[in-house]
Amino acid sequence: MLNFHVITLFPELIQTYCTTSIVGRGAEAGKICVKAVSPRDFCIDKYRKVDDTPYGGGAGMVLKPEPFFAAFESIQRPAASPVLLMTPQGKPLQQQFCDQLALESDITIICGHYEGFDERIRTLATDEISIGDFVLTGGELPALAVIDSVARLVPGVIGKSISLAHESFVDGLLEGPQYTKPPEFRGMAVPDVLLSGNHQKIASWRRQEALKRTLSKRPELLESAALTKEDREFLRKIQT
């Protein structure tokens, strides 16, 4: 089982999402467990205050270290397990990192809110993670992105592991187009190759479509993708 420990001021946001869809089914099956811990529960003042004005002046409020450290230290987790701090200053979340996280038994995620963290809270983290170059009101949405992307990689969470093998970023490419019934809809037809029953031709078509889509939408991914000789020849052909 993979245990997610989420330190958040809004545990209901985490809990609501994690009882639905694939993540919820994974929890019901005992493959993953998501627990939310609120720093407010560790405040010692009657107002349960988790933030204060910044030293040196400035706008906004800064999250205090005491309740966050206390919340973190209350978690039962292996000492060497990863601790992720969700922040726009972090490294971009990528599939390869999610693959690594899926091998862990415990992952702790720290969500911020308001104007930011007291800098000392950063010392708890093994990694600082961002989901993009934009600012949100809190770390809960990025934390859920991590949980969702990692949980689905845990064996038994998604029924057919073969479906994971063809998704975007698994081999460094974007996923190609997918179709289902009916074979024609409003003048738009399913490609004949997908109806041919020839699995070798279908696999080749899907690979080429993935290459074309990646070249069109995310060409920088091709620099690090695992390309075969045939892939490179195909790319040269469609670019000339």
- Averaged pLDDT for residues 123-137: 96
What is the share, in percent, of the chain residues with pLDDT greater than 70? 96
Q: Is residue 157 part of a domain?
A: no
Same domain, 130 and 28: yes
Mean pLDDT on 36-44 = 96
Sheet holding 62-63, edge to edge: 51-52, 62-63, 116-117
Is 143 found in the same domain as 180? no
- Kindly state whether residues 129 and 178 are assigned to the same domain: no
Residue 168 has a pLDDT of: 66
Tell me, yes or no, if the pTM score tops 0.85: yes
Can you tell me the distance from the alpha carbon of 165 to that of 221, in angstroms, rounded to the nearest whole number?
A: 17
> Could you tell me which residues are beta bridge partners of residue 34?
4
224 shares a domain with 202: yes
Are 178 and 147 found together in one domain? no
How far is the C-alpha of 201 from the C-alpha of 95, rounded, in Å?
28
pLDDT of amino acid 233: 97
Mean pLDDT for the chain?
Answer: 94
* Overall domain count for the chain: 2
**Which tokens is 118 given?**
């007291």
Judgement on whether residues 136 and 55 belong to the same structural domain of the protein: yes
Q: Check whether residue 167 and residue 137 sit in a common domain.
A: no
Which residues fall within 8 angstroms of residue 92, CB to CB, at 6 or more apart? Answer: 130, 131, 132
pLDDT of residue 171: 81
For residue 203, give the amino acid letter: A
| Domain-ending residue, one of 121, 151, 181 | 151
Q: Is the pLDDT of residue 166 over 60?
A: no
Query: Per-residue pLDDT tens for 193-222?
Result: 999 999 999 999 999 999 999 999 999 999
We report the CATH number of the domain holding residue 83 as 3.40.1280.10
Structure tokens, 2: 């993979």
The per-residue DSSP string of 160-223 comes to: -GGGGGGSTTTTSS-------S-SEETTEEPPGGGGS--HHHHHHHHHHHHHHHHHHH-GGGGG
* 144 and 209 inside one domain: no
**Distance (Å, rounded) from C-alpha 129 to C-alpha 96?**
13
122 lies in some domain: yes
Whether the pLDDT of residue 240 is over 60: the answer is yes
**Do 107 and 200 fall within a single domain?**
no
Alpha helices in the chain (DSSP H): 11-17, 21-28, 65-73, 95-101, 140-151, 199-217, 229-239
Same domain, 197 and 142: no
Q: Burial-class residue 146 by CB neighbours within 10 Å (0-12, 13-18, 19+).
A: buried
Please name which of 79, 3, 70 lies closest in space to residue 35, comparing C-alpha atoms.
3
Stronger pLDDT, 161 or 183, i.e. the higher one: 183
Would you say how long the chain is, in residues?
240
Say if residue 162's pLDDT is above 50. Answer: no
Does a structural domain hold residue 127?
yes
Domain boundary among 131, 151, 171: 151
Residue 156, in any domain of the structure: no
| Same-domain check for residues 103 and 201 | no
Do the Cβ atoms of 85 and 121 come closer than 8 Å? yes
Instruction: Measure the CA–CA gap between 126 and 134, rounded to whole angstroms.
Output: 22
- Asked if 6 contacts 35 with a C-beta cutoff of 8 angstroms, the reply is yes
Residue 88 counted as domain residue: yes
pLDDT per residue as tens digits for the range 60-112: 899 999 999 999 999 999 999 999 999 999 999 999 999 999 999 999 999 99
Of the residues 151, 183, 211, the one at which a domain ends: 151
Q: Is the domain of 141 the same as that of 169?
A: no
Q: Which domain holds residue 230?
A: 162-239
Residue 183, domain CATH: 1.10.1270.20
Contact yes or no for 37/67 (Cβ under 8 A): no
The sign of the CA dihedral 75, 76, 80, 83 is negative
Do the beta carbons of residue 110 and residue 84 sit within 8 Å? yes
